Amino acid sequence: MLFINREVSLAIDDMLATQNSYGAGGTSYGVFSNSEDMALNLGFSGFRRGSYDFYKTDWKYLNDASTRGIIENDIRGVVVPAGTSTVYDQTLGKNIKRPFLHVRYRASQADDRKMKSWTTGSVGGNITSDLDAMEVHYLSERCLITQGANNFMLLTS
């Protein structure tokens, strides 16, 4: 899976479009379910090379400089494997398959923090202030697990 900025996405589209230069007038209509009466779509969301499938998507984080704070814009994309790998889970005591990139939630026997909610205020629960309003609070504790980080790549300029 390619998470890339707009510039790299367009460069990949241009590269793939040049590979499709056959047929009448330089366009192969049948390959992409296009007809001569409709616009030719050269915005590719994926491609195959050999036995590998590549999927790409724009990542807003790389396109919008305001989301990065003071971090320089030298990262143009991230390549993340889309498969799974087998690891030993100490909690279950056996081998399990996990995606290379997945989310883990904090939980205990008494508390599940995947989506914890509670209500305060005059209508639904404990009165904690003079404000005549009900407030709903949400708490979620999660972390992003990068499994097999040696399989990931950063695309830099």
| pLDDT tens by residue, 35-90 | 555 555 667 788 888 888 889 999 888 888 777 766 666 788 989 888 888 888 88
Q: For every residue of 27-46, which 3-state class applies, written as one string? A: CCHHHHCCCCCCCCCCCCCE
- Going by C-alpha positions, the residue among 76, 107, 113, 95 that lies closest to residue 2 is 76
In the chain, how long is the greatest CA-to-CA distance?
Answer: 76
| DSSP-assigned beta bridge partners for residue 58 | 4
Helix (H) or strand (E) holding 118: strand 116-121
Q: What is the pLDDT of residues 95-146, one digit of tens each?
A: 999 888 888 887 777 777 788 888 877 665 566 666 777 788 888 888 888 8
| DSSP-assigned beta bridge partners for residue 77 | 4, 155
| DSSP-assigned beta bridge partners for residue 87 | 96
Of the two residues 59 and 34, the one the predictor is more confident about is 59
Provide CB contacts within 8 A for 91, sequence distance 6+.
none
| pTM score | 0.61
